Amino acid sequence: MGRTEPALFSLTVRVSECSTDLTGRRLRAGATVLIAVAAFTLTSGISRADEDGVSFWVPGFFGSLAATPQQPGWSFAAINYFTDVSASGNAALSREITIGQFNPALNVSINANIAAKADFQFFAPTYVFATPFLGGQASASLLTAFGSNDTALNATLAGTVGPIPFSRTIDLSQTTVGIGDLVPQFAVRWNAGVNNYMTYLTGDIPAGVYSSSNLANLGIGHGAIDGGVGYTYFDQKAGHEFSAVFGLTGNFKNTSTGYTNGIDSHLDWGASQFLTKQLQIGLVGYVYKQLTPDSGCAAILCPFESQVLGVGPQIGYLFPVGNMQGYLNLKGYREFDNEDRPDGWNVWLTFSISPAAPVASSSSPMVTKSAPPG
């Protein structure tokens, strides 16, 4: 990310996928790739929420066709994620306090800015169970990550010690390379014609590179649990699709700093149109809002509650890979209306491979979905 220590931020990526039978005669189904991106660190001011502006949940985790059932068996997805964000105010000051560059008890004025650039590779194997679970279709996945976080922090402090004025300039940068946290996920999906429903449970296992004294981290330094529900409207004949997934995140204490993030809410959505049996275009977006303030933060910061909105385009393409199905998806978000967290832009390039949907006979319609990881 930037050139200073970025605050951690866990990512999860949801990439939509729609499949057709390999004969190309008709649209068979759609599926989404859900990729929990583990502990992806951004600078405090550049990260996404909570402590140092960083949250477990990465907005944009879910996208189009999120709730559609998938094809049973093993699938795999690889994602290249790049983001460029920056922030000032509390988002930058929070990181400055965490790494010990500023004593919040001092009576000083501060002008601080933080910026981060990150480039991550995420890998997510997924198994979709053929045996029904609660009348639906269950899946289990585990996301791992490897990448780099480049963060920079610049600040000017001015104040007095007794009658004596002083000023101090801080100019720090750090690049961290390594592995991120582990993110397991369990989901169940149900189909009823053009209506599809899902519920999911995921969380963070803090196994990635992390130190509270680092400017740039690859893990978030604490555990988290996240769960939610989703809906997809998918008219296969017309190629119309709309999806929305809502969830809540609960966070455990960061024992290294004594800091506990508040409860976070997030709404991810996607809308698309299939122009052909293989080509999909549309829009994606998210709303991220912290519901309760953090605890353990300095009085100069609290209450610390973050929010951000994002929107952007997406394009997807399906193609055969032997007797499997391949899928490429490119999507990007521009962020705005941020508070107590950085904003900027991010781009996801996803490749997934999954079992192909069986070819339906002409006498009976095919309604099963082909599935990549998720």
- pLDDT above 90 (res 280): yes
**Spatial contact of 235 and 30, defined as CB atoms under 8 Å apart:** no
Q: How many domains does the chain have?
A: 1
Instruction: Please tell me which residue, 363 or 12, carries the higher pLDDT value.
Output: 363
Tell whether 16 is covered by a domain.
yes
Q: Tell me the pLDDT tens digit for each residue of 204-215.
A: 999 999 888 888
Tell whether 122 is covered by a domain.
yes
DSSP structure string for 11-34: EEEEEEEEEE-TT-SSEEEEEEEE
Tell whether 374 is covered by a domain.
no
State the average pLDDT over residues 91-97.
62
Q: Which domain holds residue 35?
A: 8-355
Cα torsion at 288, 289, 293, 297 (round to 10°)? 30
- pLDDT above 90 (res 228): yes
- pLDDT above 80 (res 193): yes
Would you state the pLDDT for residue 330?
94
Would you state the pLDDT for residue 89?
62
The residue written with tokens 């601080």 in the block is 112
d(CA 230, CA 267): 9
Would you state the pLDDT for residue 100?
58
**Spatial contact of 6 and 44, defined as CB atoms under 8 Å apart:** yes
- Among candidate residues 196, 333, 251, the one with its CA nearest the CA of residue 49: 251
pLDDT band at 115 (very low <50, low <70, confident <90, very high): confident
- Among candidate residues 120, 163, 164, the one with its CA nearest the CA of residue 144: 120
State the average pLDDT over residues 1-5.
32
Tell whether 14 is covered by a domain.
yes
State the average pLDDT over residues 229-244.
95
**Spatial contact of 67 and 229, defined as CB atoms under 8 Å apart:** no
Tell whether 125 is covered by a domain.
yes
Q: Tell me the pLDDT tens digit for each residue of 166-188.
A: 777 878 888 999 999 999 999 99
- The enclosing domain of 156 has a CATH number of 2.40.160.40
- pLDDT above 80 (res 97): no
Tell whether 361 is covered by a domain.
no
- Among candidate residues 5, 174, 218, 206, the one with its CA nearest the CA of residue 98: 5
Contacts of 138 (CB under 8 A, 6+ apart): 128, 129, 186, 187, 188
Query: Any idea which of 54-63, 84-93, 360-369 has the lowest mean pLDDT?
Result: 360-369
pLDDT band at 72 (very low <50, low <70, confident <90, very high): very high
Would you state the pLDDT for residue 370?
42
Tell whether 107 is covered by a domain.
yes
Instruction: Please tell me which residue, 12 or 340, carries the higher pLDDT value.
Output: 340
Would you state the pLDDT for residue 43?
31
